[in-house]
Amino acid sequence: MKTFTNIFLVAVASIVIGLSIFAITNSNNNAFAQQQNGGFDKELNLLNQTLTALENQDKNAKKTLFDAEGIIEDKMKDNPEIGNAEKRVEAAIKMVSEGNFQAAIDHTNEAIKTLSGLNK
């Protein structure tokens, strides 16, 4: 009976240790994911770069806008409040296609304002 009790205690201890390691690992992964998804620095940098190109009426600004839009879209599932910024970037892309650079600048500035307000 003593052997059975010892085996049982070792099994229980192993399970507790395993669950503790899982909880710690899972907690660290969630913190990392929140840090990655919580800020919008990369998107803001791209949009600020785009402003210079738009002011110079450079149609290549569309590529940077597309890059920013892709990143924003990837984060929308976890951050639905950034939907306005995504729509503004889409509108800016359309305005560049139409050659309306001032409207593209205005939409880009609004997207920057939205993301800046939410940046943590």
* pLDDT one-digit tens code per residue, 80-96: 999 999 999 999 999 99
pLDDT (0 to 100) of residue 1: 65
DSSP 56-111: TT-TTHHHHHHHHHHHHHHHHTT-GGGHHHHHHHHHHHHHHHHT-HHHHHHHHHHH
pLDDT (0 to 100) of residue 37: 45
Burial class of 115 by CB neighbour count within 10 A (0 to 12, 13 to 18, 19+)? buried
Task: Give the start-end residues of each E strand in the chain.
Answer: none
Structure tokens at 6: 């010892």
Please tell me whether the overall predicted TM-score, pTM, comes out greater than 0.85 for this model: no
Residues of the chain with pLDDT under 50: 23, 25-37
Domain edges within the chain: 1-38, 40-118
Taking the C-alpha atoms of residue 49 and residue 70, their distance in angstroms, rounded to an integer, is 16
- The topology under which CATH files domain 40-118 is Four Helix Bundle (Hemerythrin (Met), subunit A) (1.20.120)
pLDDT (0 to 100) of residue 17: 63
Taking the C-alpha atoms of residue 57 and residue 22, their distance in angstroms, rounded to an integer, is 53
Taking the C-alpha atoms of residue 99 and residue 91, their distance in angstroms, rounded to an integer, is 12
